[in-house]
Amino acid sequence: MENRPSNGAGNGGERRIWSWWYLLLLLPFLGLLYPPLYAFEEPRLIGVPFFYWYQLAWLFITATLTTIVFRATR
């Protein structure tokens, strides 16, 4: 830490920490923010309409994606 330039004007501070893995975190937005994609009653899962279980499934997918991104970028 000490021997690194600490000021934003310096070249060291300008370094952006970006990883392509972060793109995975866009998927939940794509999967959830366009309801016509999933506003259906069928197929049901143990009696639960598609609309409801699809969104709950995204919960597990998103938790997995954030874990993957966390591991990959650590």
x/- letters, 2..41, toward other proteins (CB under 8 A): --xxxxxx--xxxx-x----x--xx-xx--xxxxx--xxx
Collapsing DSSP to helix, strand or coil, 45 comes out as strand
Nearest distance from C-beta of residue 49 to other proteins, angstroms: 6
72 binds other proteins (CB under 8 A): no
Q: Is 62 in the site for other proteins (CB under 8 A)?
A: yes
CA distances from 61 to 28, 35, 68 (A): 8, 17, 10
Q: Which is nearer to other proteins, 15 or 20 (CB)?
A: 15
